[in-house]
Amino acid sequence: MTAQTILQVDKLSIALRLKGQGFPAVSNLSFSVERGEVFGLVGESGCGKSLCALTIAGLLRDPLHVTGGRIDFDGQDINRLSNRDMRRLRGNRVAMIFQEPMTSLNPLMTIGDQIGEMFELHENMSRRQARLKAVESLEQVQVPSPERRIRDYPHQLSGGMRQRVMIAIALACNPALLIADEPTTALDVTIQAEIVELILDLCKARGTAVLMISHDLGLVARICNRVAVMYAGSIVEERAASEVFVDPRHPYTQGLLASLPRLGRRLQEGRKPLMEIKGVVPALTERGPGCGFAPRCSKATDICWADMPAATALSGSGKIRCYHHG
């Protein structure tokens, strides 16, 4: 772990305990996030992105459990922290924005109390001081009439306003790392870009690193420095964003990009249907010993079904898990 690395995930494995059996949900996951950078984690639903986020934030619960690996945050092994120490870290140095703010905010507490709670817990402020800071936080996330809004309850706000409140809570204590798990999924298309730009502007001003979890490849291509592509609980390709989207190497990454609609495609290629990756992500109980993508891959051979390929360094930068990436 270098001085510039804020988060180092090393061979993280997570399993689902079901009827006395353990089923691997995430296997040997390794990546790092540098201070101040925006790192993207992408893949289809069910590939393990959110499980990784919950584990980093110390929010993983039974029947899921960590079976191996290490998570270092700023030199600390998170897996070794007590629940009390993890609560001190979470919301203070590590913060998280969830997909659906309505289920993340407490419906019985006012907005002002929920933001102010962060300052009371982590900054030892009085209730009055925390309330003033709550107003200031709402101003920073561009909520109009913040003095009035702090008295509102979550159901009185629109989806976009609720997500702005979640951003205010997450960034209240100037965390070193922000985990954004599909932060625009529940929002109207018209305000998704506003929310993303707000997150990036505030994090850049504070020097906060961002782990952006998304299935929106266009968003990731636009805002991330580096990208890791996940499939069936493993990272199959990790490179600079500019390299991934210009010259994808893994068959899964190639399939994802080929399935995206593009302006002008009809003029270039004629009236053709969009490409598709046949099949679905395998269920936890159906994953075999080999590459998780083998059942859907046109390049798969016997070795792909038998053994998971090791992470191979690529020329330039990055790594890939594929026997046929050449």
Residue 184's domain is classified under what CATH number? 3.40.50.300
Q: Give 285-304 pLDDT, tens digit per residue.
A: 888 889 999 999 989 999 99
In a domain, 193, yes or no: yes
- Kindly report which listed range (105-109, 181-185, 216-220, 267-271) carries the lowest average pLDDT score: 267-271
Domain boundary among 242, 263, 284: 263
pLDDT for the residue 183: 87
In a domain, 163, yes or no: yes
In a domain, 137, yes or no: yes
Same domain, 37 and 151: no
Same domain, 145 and 194: no
* Confidence bin at 8 (pLDDT 50/70/90): very high
Q: Give 177-209 pLDDT, tens digit per residue.
A: 999 998 888 778 888 889 999 999 999 999 999
Same domain, 179 and 168: no
In a domain, 14, yes or no: yes
The count of structural domains within the chain is 2
Inter-residue contact 300 to 227 (CB < 8 Å): no
Domain boundary among 172, 188, 218: 172
Same domain, 35 and 80: yes
Residue 48 has a CB neighbour count (10 Å cut-off) of 25
Same domain, 205 and 253: yes
In a domain, 79, yes or no: yes
In a domain, 66, yes or no: yes
3-state SS, the chain, equals CCCCEEEEEEEEEEEEEECCEEEEEEEEEEEEEECCCEEEEECCCCCCHHHHHHHHCCCCCCCEEEEEEEEEECCEEHHHCCHHHHHHHECCCEEEECCCHHHHCCCCCCHHHHHHHHHHHHCCCCHHHHHHHHHHHHHHCCCCCHHHHCCCCHHHCCHHHHHHHHHHHHCCCCCCEEEEECCCCCCCHHHHHHHHHHHHHHHHHHCCEEEEEECCHHHHHHHCCEEEEEECCEEEEEEEHHHHHHCCCCHHHHHHHHCCCCCCHHHHHCCCCCCCCCCCCCCHHHCCCCCCCHHHCCCCCHHHHHCCCCCEECCCCCEECCCCCC
pLDDT for the residue 266: 64
pLDDT for the residue 96: 94
pLDDT for the residue 323: 93
Same domain, 54 and 82: yes
Same domain, 236 and 131: no
In a domain, 312, yes or no: no
Same domain, 184 and 225: yes
pLDDT for the residue 326: 67
Same domain, 67 and 180: yes
Same domain, 72 and 220: yes
Domain boundary among 240, 263, 286: 263
Q: Give 11-53 pLDDT, tens digit per residue.
A: 999 999 988 888 999 999 999 999 999 999 998 888 899 999 9
Same domain, 23 and 148: no
Say if pTM beats, i.e. exceeds, 0.85: yes
Q: Which domain holds residue 164?
A: 108-172
Rounded distance, CA 155 to CA 165, Å?
12
Same domain, 74 and 122: no
